[in-house]
Structure formats: structure tokens, C-alpha cells
Amino acid sequence: MVAHEPPRSRLPRAERELQVLDAARALFAARGFRDVTMDAVAAAVGVTKPLLYNYFGNKEQLYLACVRRTGEELEQAVSAAVAAAPTPGEALKAALRTFFAFVERDRGAWQVLYDESLPTAGPIAEAMDGYRARIAAPVAGAFAGLGGSAVQAEALAHGQLAAAEAMSRWWLATDALPARELAELLIDTLEPGLAQRATAPAPEEGTP
Amino acid sequence: MVAHEPPRSRLPRAERELQVLDAARALFAARGFRDVTMDAVAAAVGVTKPLLYNYFGNKEQLYLACVRRTGEELEQAVSAAVAAAPTPGEALKAALRTFFAFVERDRGAWQVLYDESLPTAGPIAEAMDGYRARIAAPVAGAFAGLGGSAVQAEALAHGQLAAAEAMSRWWLATDALPARELAELLIDTLEPGLAQRATAPAPEEGTP
Amino acid sequence: MVAHEPPRSRLPRAERELQVLDAARALFAARGFRDVTMDAVAAAVGVTKPLLYNYFGNKEQLYLACVRRTGEELEQAVSAAVAAAPTPGEALKAALRTFFAFVERDRGAWQVLYDESLPTAGPIAEAMDGYRARIAAPVAGAFAGLGGSAVQAEALAHGQLAAAEAMSRWWLATDALPARELAELLIDTLEPGLAQRATAPAPEEGTP
Amino acid sequence: MVAHEPPRSRLPRAERELQVLDAARALFAARGFRDVTMDAVAAAVGVTKPLLYNYFGNKEQLYLACVRRTGEELEQAVSAAVAAAPTPGEALKAALRTFFAFVERDRGAWQVLYDESLPTAGPIAEAMDGYRARIAAPVAGAFAGLGGSAVQAEALAHGQLAAAEAMSRWWLATDALPARELAELLIDTLEPGLAQRATAPAPEEGTP
DNA sequence: AATGAATGAGGTTTCATTCAT
DNA sequence: GATGAATGAAACCTCATTCAT
């Protein structure tokens, strides 16, 4: 009655590592760091736990290995988009479009990068904070270029990045709209207000 | 057979429940569902674990009990604010102001309602989704009143509520601005874009 | 076929702790820290591991709990004997007699105190070094009072304490002599040499 | 089918065994049997674990192979020194001097021979006991020649060998005195007592 | 009304050892 | 002669949960 699993044994390390990484990332995306056990990863790949530990060290490092490539890609994509834009306003739009495009292209990758069940302390927390901060930085820069005080820009950047994340999560759950439209929707909503900020002479805060 | 020590305190059940709820909610707010053990709750209240189980059944139900009052309060506050507003534009502003004010008044309550370490399946997930949806609904209504399709309104509501949430978190961490000013900052940023939506003739979605 | 174990359940904590401590100390004495598993301790007492962790925290703390009383007793016995002696020579004799008497009185206690399979780093190593150092200190003092340079005294104290330990271990393995005679044997062997040191005018080292 | 990379080095077995033995002994000396993993040995030699198993069978046998040469050397050195001495008194001095000299010459070898983290049962324990007993025997012989019963001599031999050992360890840790002076210090301390034993009319057994 | 005592089940990690080439 | 790939077994520890009073 048991499906006769083809013997997948004795693969070269590089190949096995990719297998593990794929299986692990899928599990982490689906259930979150906390609810994925090393046993589950091992079972998904069809190997035993010690192999996982031989290759990746421990659970945190396995998680980070799942995240690394993806995280760096998103970092670079966002900062390249921002750098290439002629004005802060365009930079912000480009950043948001890049972000949503990324989410749409690889749901799993994004979910792992923005996992909400990660430990809030220790090396993993630091690494993830690093990724998120480096992704957020160019966006904050764009906001800062648009007028208002520096604190205000930071607050807005935090807020609208979270808005983008939330819209992404909502999109993952509902699939109600093409992700690209979400980018335009958010951009359209913000643009006039930001244009107005840019022309105003940036007082301490709010309206004169 | 010996009963020298008077029982620590023999409170009526209702009172004891409130005590437990307060202590538990503070813990859940500070450390998240996942990282709070029943032992920790019992120790914080000064009772033993079996009492917790007698009164609340299990950990999830205890958590839900902690959340119930808060969730209903926020639900009602937001929907009252929206209902009382003369126009969709005012409704939205009122909703955001109410939200920030609520977070400012009771950060613990707020954090429990939006705990990010909750199980993503099971009765607790459903209940929490319910609260969040009922809080988001009036906001989405306000957005919808400003033009665009219903899905777009829902997407925006989720996004800007998360923005408010993130700005609040940032406020809790930095204390860099009064929370009320954050509300105005967000409103000022959104208002022109929303005004523009309101005048445009809301097609299926997006502007022509 | 299985012996019908009398249900030993539900003992008061104090009693259970003593049971655990006895069983654990016996195991540690017989097999050494490294080779005793928490499962073995639990099985020996007839309880499950979590109880051990509830009561003692972890394996190291359980070990230290086994050692504490004994260690302090030996410390005090040795330093009291040394303090009560009129001359350094007498002090040294008293210390050695106390030491061997202790070994004879409670073989298990001594074996646990001088376990050779302990971790060489971490809290347990520090605690055990503390005990051993406090036991050695009065002996080193006695040697120092007998002439020669301070380094020489320290070297000799280290050496002869180790001699006493080794004789104790040999005694535990062979039981060939009453332990008390070992004390006298060692004392008789050292005494003339030490007396000679005491009269000599302590040059840099060796005989003038 | 591809064989671009030349094999790391295709040494004849005898040479490879020596390499392994050297690296392994250094590791065992530094960290003790328990804390050295086969992985660490393999890495230190620059070979893979299966080779270790091919050549030596298992960890215990590898350890014994590391110890064999050293153990036999020390055995022979001590017994030669004792045999060459004209009187029991000289024999003892010669034995102690040989012992200290050996430790000074090759601290690694010495530490492996007296590793304190070895299993206390099984083939390894028996083998090590054999080495230690054969090293102790000539010393005990010398003590026996100085009066007292055979058991007493054995007890003293065990004790004073341990004293030499401990002084060596202390020397390794502090470097406070030349090792040769430690030998003289111990000899000077013991000599008068032993001389006295020699003149006293040895009761139980021994020479009149 | 409340407790002290106890556990089942499962998690991460380590290590000596072997298989197939 | 030597290796890359892989594993079985067991260790420490944690936590939600229940039993008997």
C-alpha cells in the first residue's frame, strides 16, 4: 500500500542542497519558521535529520540559507529601481512597483522573507532585520526627498512599506486583483499628497 | 488534614477571572502568544495552572478571552466614528484618528489584537480574522465611498490600516512624535489622493 | 512477568527531592556525570524526566544539588581541623586525617565530589573548582607554614593533595587497608621531611 | 570517469598511520578522549573518517594506538631506571626523576596516558589500567624495598605517582619552576621519611 | 474554589559509524 | 588507497495538559 518511493539516495551535495533548500522554503512559506520541524524538512526531502545538520548547521542557518538569495535580490532590485529614478517621486513609484512585482513573481520567497513567526531575538532576528532595513532604506530616502521633516519621512516610510506588505498579504490570501494593479492603486492614492508635500516649504510638521 | 495556612485568597470566580485576564493580556502583549507559557501566566497571576484550565479551558481560549473585550471595543469605536461622519472623507479621517487614539490609550490591548505569532489555522485564527475583518470593514466602506471598486477599497483599507499600525509600532518604539500628529500626517498624505478619487467617475477599477 | 512495582506516586515534593537526590548521587558516583542520563535518573526514581527538570532545572544543577551538602561539609571539616591545630605540622596531619575519614565515611559522596568526567568548562566546572580550591586552601596554608618558598609550598600542596586523592581512589577500588591507615601511612612518610624543612632556613629552594 | 584533480596525497599506509597517530594524539592530549570527535581527528589529519575506520577500527582502538608507543616507552624507562639503581632509595629517586623528565619531554604523550575522561569500563579501561599498573609496579617495588608491607608500598606508589602527576600538571599550567626542580623537591620531601622506614623493623612483611 | 504532583509527546542537536564507489 | 554521502540512536530539554485531592 505504501507508494514505492524511487530511491533518491546518493545525490551530489550541491544537488541535494538545492533539493533541501526548495523543500524547506516551501514548508517555511506555508507554515512559518516556528511550525516547521527539522523532521518535517527531512521527511519532505526524503533524507534524515543529520544530513540537514551536516549541510546547514542548524535550523536557523537553514532558514537563512532559504532566505539569502531572495533577500539580496529584492534588496538590489529595490535599490536599483530607486537609483535609476530621476526624481524622488519617481523613485518611490519605482520602488513600490518593484516590490509588488517581486511578490507576484515568487510568492514563497516573499512569504519567507516576511515571515511573522520568526524569533524576535538572536542571529536570525538580526539577519532578517538587516534585510528588511536594507529594503526599506531606499524607500525612506525617497520619502525624505519629498519634503517634510526627517522624522515625518521616516514615519511615512515605515507606514507605507507596511501598507505594501499588508496589501501583499491580502493579495496572497484573496488573489482578488493582479498584484501590479495594487502597486498602481497605492501609487495613485499617495501621489497627489506627496506632490503637495514636495511643493510645500517643509515646516516643522503638518499644514502651515 | 492540617489546614494551618489560610488559602492565598479565595476570590469569587468573576473577580479571579478579571485578574487572570489582566495579567495574561499584559504578558501576551509583551511577548506574543507563542512565547507565553501557561506557567508564566499562572506565575504572573499568582495562581496555579489547573485554575487556568478550569476557568478557560486551554491556552487558545484564554487568549481569546483576553482579546474579546478589546476587539469589540475597537470594532465599535471605529464603526461608530465612521457612522457619525457626514461624508466618506470625514469618515475615513475619523476612523484613522480613532484607531491611533485607541493604540495610544492602550498599547497592550492593541498589540494583543494584532499579535503576529498566532497560529495561522484553527479556531483562534478564525476568531482573530473575524475581529480584524470587522474592524477593517467600516474603513473599507469609507474608502469605497470615495470612488473605485469594492475590491480596491478593501485592498486600500487593509493597507492603510497596516500603515497606521506600523506607524503606531514605530511610535511605541521611538516616541519621536505625538501619536496624534501621526494620525494627521497620514491623513494629510492620503487626503489629496482620495479627493481626486472622489471626483473621478469610478469605473470597474483604476482611473481611465 | 514484570515485577509489580508498588505505586510510589504523589509524594510530597520534599520527599521526592530527597529520593531523586539519593538515586542521582548513587548513579553519578557509580558512572560519572557524563555517563548518567536524565532518563536513567528518572527511571531509577520511578518518575519521568519533566519532574526532574521541574525540581532541579537541568542536569548540571541536579549534579550540583547532589554535591552541595557534601562539599560544604568536607570544606568545613578540613578547615576546622586545620584551624584547631597548634602548629602547621599538626594542621597538615589533621587535614589529611579528616580527608581520609571523610572518604571512608561516605564513598559515594567523595566520588561525586571528585568525579573525573565532569565538563571542564561552564558553571559546573567553576563550582567544582570552587569546592576543591576551598578544600585545598587550608592544606596549602599548612605547607606554607612549614618552610621553603611560597611556590614550593604550593607545588607540594598540589602534589600531596593529589596523592591523598589517588590513595583514596585506590582504596575504593581495592579496599585493601582501612582508610585510616592510609592517612597514617602518608603522614609518616611526609612528616620527617617536613620537619626538616621547618628547621631549615628556607633558601631559594632545596637544601643549602 | 573524470579524474582531473590529483588525489590529495596517496601515501603508503604506514606513513599515513603515523600522520594520523600524531594528529590524533595531539588532539586527545589537548581535549581529552571524550571531547575529541572522529570528525575533528579526520579534519586535523586532512583525511576522511572512513579512512580512520579502515585503519583503526573504531575510536577506542584509535586511542589505544595513540597510547601504545608512549605507554611502552614510559614503562620501560621507569623500570630500567629502577633496575639500574643500586639501592631501593636510589631506585625511587631514579623513578621519580625519570617520570618528571618524561613529562617534561613530551607533555602530549603524558596527558594521553593519564587522560581523565576515558570510559571507566570496557576494553579501553582495561588496557589503560594495564599501562598504569605496569608503570606503578617498579615504583611500588622501590617503596617496598624501603620497608613496610607490600600493600602499603602499593598505596604509597599510587599516591606519590599521582603527586608527581599533579605537580607536573601544575607545572604545565604555571611554569613556575623548572620541572627538574620539582622532582628534587618531591624527593627531598620524601627522603627522610623513607630513610626512617628503611631503618624501622618492617612489621607485616618487607626486609628486616 | 484551588492546588501540588506528575506526565506524554515532541523539539533541536550530536556523534560514532557504514555504504557504495 | 581513499572518499562523498548518509544514517541510527540517543542526549538534553520544554510545554500544554491532567489527576487526585
Judge if the beta carbon of B53 is closer than 7 A to nucleic acid strand F.
Answer: yes
With CA atoms as reference, report the closest residue to B85 among B75, B95, B73, B74.
B95
Indicate whether C147 belongs to any domain: yes
Instruction: Say how far apart CA C24 and CA C33 lie, in whole Å.
Output: 10
Domain of residue D104, residue span: 67-199
C104 contacts on D by Cβ (under 8 Å): none
Nearest residue: Cα versus C1' of E15:
D37
Indicate whether A48 belongs to any domain: no
Cell numbers 520541524 correspond to A37
Q: Which of B155, B185, B193 sits opposite A167 (nearest CB)?
A: B155
Nearest nt by C1' to C11 Cα: E5
C182 contacts on D by Cβ (under 8 Å): 155
Cell numbers 504523589 correspond to C10
How many angstroms is C1' of F14 away from CA of C48? 13
The predicted structure's pLDDT at residue C103: 93
What is the percentage of chain A residues whose pLDDT exceeds 70?
Answer: 91
Tens of pLDDT along C159-202? 999 999 999 989 988 899 999 999 999 999 999 998 888 776 54
pLDDT of residue D9 exceeding 70: no
Indicate whether A9 belongs to any domain: no
Mean pLDDT of D14-42: 92
- Dihedral over Cα of B108, B110, B112, B116: its sign: negative
- The structural domain count of chain D equals 1
Chain B interface, best mutation among A152, A169, A185, by max B CB count within 10 A:
A185
Instruction: Say how far apart CA A13 and CA D182 lie, in whole Å.
Output: 55
What is the distance of C-alpha D172 from the center of its chain?
Answer: 15
**179-208 in chain B: CB under 8 A from chain A:** 181-182, 184-186, 188-197, 205-207
What is the percentage of chain A residues whose pLDDT exceeds 90?
Answer: 60
Indicate whether B34 belongs to any domain: no
User: Grid coordinates representing B196?
Assistant: 481626486
The predicted structure's pLDDT at residue D51: 96
pLDDT of residue B112 exceeding 90: no
Q: Which amino acid is at C135?
A: I
Tens of pLDDT along A80-128? 999 999 999 999 999 999 999 999 999 889 989 988 778 888 889 999 9
Q: What is the CATH number of the domain that holds D152?
A: 1.10.357.10
Indicate whether B207 belongs to any domain: no
Instruction: Say how far apart CA C105 and CA C70 lie, in whole Å.
Output: 11
Query: In degrees rounded to 5, what are phi and psi of residue C116?
Result: -100, 0
Instruction: Say how far apart CA A87 and CA A142 lie, in whole Å.
Output: 8
Q: Do B185 and A205 touch (CB under 8 A)?
A: yes
Query: Which one of A89-98, B174-183, D4-13 scores highest in mean pLDDT?
Result: A89-98
Chain E, protein-covered positions (CB within 7 A)? 1-20
Q: At what angle do helices A150-174 and B179-199 cross, to 10 degrees?
A: 60
With CA atoms as reference, report the closest residue to A187 among A88, A78, A96, A86.
A96
Instruction: Say how far apart CA C72 and CA C75 lie, in whole Å.
Output: 5
Query: In degrees rounded to 5, what are phi and psi of residue A166?
Result: -65, -40
pLDDT of residue C51 exceeding 50: yes
Q: Do A170 and B181 touch (CB under 8 A)?
A: no
Q: Do C162 and D160 touch (CB under 8 A)?
A: no
B151 contacts on A by Cβ (under 8 Å): 176-177
Query: In degrees rounded to 5, what are phi and psi of residue D49?
Result: -60, -45
User: CB-based contact (8 Å) between B155 and chain A?
Assistant: yes
Indicate whether A4 belongs to any domain: no
Judge if the beta carbon of B11 is closer than 7 A to nucleic acid strand E.
Answer: yes
Indicate whether D30 belongs to any domain: no
Indicate whether A75 belongs to any domain: yes
Nearest nt by C1' to C48 Cα: E7
The predicted structure's pLDDT at residue B9: 62
Check residues 2 to 31 of chain A and report those whose beta carbon is under 7 Å from nucleic acid strand E: 10
